[in-house]
Amino acid sequence: MSMLTRRAAMIGATAFGVLPVARLAQAQPRPDLLRFGLSVWPPNLQPWQSVGQAAGMIKMLIGRRLVGFDEKGELRGELARDFGRDASDGAWVFRLDPRAVFHNGEKVTSEDVKWTIEQVAGERSTAYYRAQMQRIDRIETPDAHTVRLHMKEPTATVPLWFANYNMPIVWRGTRNMNEAMGCGPYRLAAQERGSWIELQAVPNYWVPGQPRTKTIRMTLVADESLRLAALQSGDVDFIEFVPWTGMAAVEADPRFKLESTMGPFMDILFNGTRPPFDNPLVRRAVAHAVKREDIVRVAFSGRGKVLEGMPIVEGTPWWDAELSRGHNYDPERSKALLAQAGHANGINTTLLTTGAFAMHKDSAEVAQQYLAAVGIRAELRVVDWSTRVSQGIRGQYDLAVHGVSADFNDPDGLTVVLDTSLSAAHGRSFGLSAPRTTELLNKGRQEFDHARRVEIYKDMQRAALEEVPVVGLAWREQGYAFDRRVSGFRILPGALSLSSGVNLEFTSVG
Site for another protein in 67-126 (CB under 8 A): 124-126
Q: According to CB under 8 A, which one of 32, 82, 223, 322 is a site residue for another protein?
A: 223
Q: Parallel, antiparallel, or unpaired for β 215-220 and 508-509?
A: unpaired
- Can residue 252 be called a binding residue for another protein (CB under 8 A)? no
Q: Cβ closer to another protein: 10 or 344?
A: 10
Q: Cβ closer to another protein: 1 or 451?
A: 1
- Can residue 497 be called a binding residue for another protein (CB under 8 A)? no
Among the candidate windows 37-45, 106-114, 140-148, 201-209, which touches another protein by CB under 8 A? 37-45
Q: Give, in order, the Cα–Cα distances in Å from 407 to each of 71, 102, 144.
A: 17, 27, 30
Among the candidate windows 40-48, 85-93, 281-289, 447-455, which touches another protein by CB under 8 A? 40-48
Q: Cβ closer to another protein: 206 or 244?
A: 244
How many whole angstroms separate alpha carbon 470 and alpha carbon 179? 39
Q: According to CB under 8 A, which one of 390, 448, 452, 484 is a site residue for another protein?
A: 390
Among the candidate windows 102-110, 152-160, 426-434, 468-476, which touches another protein by CB under 8 A? 426-434
Q: Residue 144 in contact with residue 109, Cβ under 8 Å?
A: yes
Q: Cβ closer to another protein: 12 or 154?
A: 12
- Can residue 2 be called a binding residue for another protein (CB under 8 A)? yes
How many whole angstroms separate alpha carbon 255 and alpha carbon 92? 47
Q: Residue 159 in contact with residue 67, Cβ under 8 Å?
A: yes
| Residue in 355, 319, 334 with CA at minimum distance from that of residue 471 | 334
Q: Cβ closer to another protein: 205 or 475?
A: 475
Q: Residue 79 in contact with residue 183, Cβ under 8 Å?
A: yes
Q: Cβ closer to another protein: 144 or 222?
A: 222
> What single DSSP character describes residue 87?
T
- Can residue 383 be called a binding residue for another protein (CB under 8 A)? yes
Among the candidate windows 41-49, 65-73, 137-145, 254-262, which touches another protein by CB under 8 A? 41-49
x/- mask, another protein, residues 166-205, rule CB under 8 A, reads: ------------x-------------xxxx----------
- Can residue 361 be called a binding residue for another protein (CB under 8 A)? yes
Minimum separation from the CB atom of position 302 to another protein (A): 10
Residue 25, CA atoms < 13 Å, CB-side half-sphere: 10
- Return the exposure string of 353-374: e unless at least 16 CB atoms fall within 10 Å of the residue's CB, then b: bbeebebbbbbbbbbbebbeeb
Per-position DSSP letters for 218-279, written without gaps between them:
EEE--SHHHHHHHHHTTS-SEESS--HHHHHHHHH-TTEEEEEEEEEEEEEEEBTTSTTTTS
Q: Residue 178 in contact with residue 124, Cβ under 8 Å?
A: no
- Can residue 336 be called a binding residue for another protein (CB under 8 A)? no
- For another protein, the binding residues in 290-319 under the rule CB under 8 A are 293-294, 297-298, 301
Q: Where are the alpha helices (DSSP H) in 127-223?
A: 130-133, 158-161
Minimum separation from the CB atom of position 227 to another protein (A): 9
Residue 329, CA atoms < 13 Å, CB-side half-sphere: 14
Q: Cβ closer to another protein: 308 or 362?
A: 362
Q: Cβ closer to another protein: 336 or 425?
A: 425
Among the candidate windows 42-50, 331-339, 436-444, 465-473, which touches another protein by CB under 8 A? 42-50
